[in-house]
A and B are shown apart, each in its own frame.
Chain A
């Protein structure tokens, strides 16, 4: 139960901690906004957990996957706006991203905790496992923060942030295939022998880069489109801003 709690906590909480770090380094978001988002997300997740059984029965048992897809896409769109246009007033945007992103993840972990809370001998391993998991998540978040802060290269941080959010939204493909809303064309390759999905590196790379040992064409297409689109749009907008003004603009 202890190891299990640590694994589940890492799976659900690590992406949230990495997101907090990335938002702090990339957008320079104040901790108050991030904590506000975290609080809001946790409150929303209580509502989701209370109704999760009902939600999961919607659309012939596909309701919860669809809810997850909606939150992932919404968080991605808001984060993509941050990649495209950096500016003031992103504190509120960061709060929204965190709030939306936290909902399904904390709801998933809550199902486990709530389900086993009243079982004999389960409380202490759950609490101990959560504390251990929290320690690991905080360590990784600090590492990410220190790494990108010390690099001091906004371009690299932007690409890393874009890759992180793309890796998260690519999970929509897996969720839609699970509920038969999207065809599964099968894996393009399988490198489970090199880095297995279930290994520690596999878990970490999945969180940071959206790594899949056996990805399908749909998954890769979504990952790369989600990564490149905001970066390309940003480049186009910047090149337009930098382009010399047309003669007609000076004629007035």
Chain B
């Protein structure tokens, strides 16, 4: 019983530790546009994208390439986890304003990512 409790606690601790080390990127939605519209993330790592919607209307983040879909309410924020991803470009858009709200996640090698940051 104690052994399983200990293993569970260790597992949770490891999960929390990995969550703490997870890179975070903040993307703001303003006037139905993403700022920044291009974000760079390291390959092979899980990344937390934090969307902050400063508009009064909701926006729905959609990406076929990232397989993500999330409503972000007006004047609210939402988290979306992506990855680990291979190097390349992954497009996303605002489902409610697909012509203006467009952006992409550029996945680069960890070395390039560290150099840039």
Count residues of B near A (Cβ-Cβ below 8 Å): 28
Name the contact of A111 in the complex, choosing from B71, B84, B85 (C-beta under 8 A).
Answer: B71
Q: Is the CB of B84 within 8 A of A56?
A: no
Q: Report whether B73 and A53 are in contact in the complex, using a CB–CB cutoff of 8 Å.
A: yes
A60 to B16, CA, bound (A): 14
Interface centre among B64, B67, B95 (most CB of A within 10 A): B67
Min CB–CB distance A158 → chain B (angstroms): 29
Partner of B81, one of A8, A108, A180, A214: A180
Q: Chain B contacts of A8 at CB under 8 A?
A: 95-96
- Distance of A192 Cα from B60 Cα, bound (Å): 22
Q: Does B30 contact A (CB under 8 A)?
A: no
A56-B73, A174-B67, A196-B64 as given contacts; A184 in contact with B58, CB under 8 Å: no
- B58:A60 contact, CB within 8 angstroms: no
Q: A111-B58, A115-B57 are in contact. Are A184 and B83 (CB under 8 A)?
A: yes
Contact at B86–A186, with CB atoms within 8 Å? Answer: yes
The answer to whether A201 has its CB under 8 Å from any CB of chain B is: no
Distance from A32 Cβ to chain B, minimum over Cβ atoms (Å): 33
Known pairs A56-B73, A115-B74; list 16 more (Cβ under 8 Å). A4-B98, A61-B78, A64-B71, A108-B60, A108-B71, A111-B73, A112-B96, A115-B57, A174-B67, A177-B81, A178-B70, A178-B80, A180-B19, A180-B48, A184-B82, A214-B67
- List the 5 closest A-B pairs by CB distance, nearest first: A180-B81, A197-B64, A115-B58, A198-B64, A61-B79
Query: Which residues of chain A have a CB within 8 Å of any CB of chain B?
Result: 4, 8, 52-53, 56, 60-62, 64-65, 108, 111-112, 115-116, 119, 174, 177-180, 184, 186, 192, 196-198, 212-214
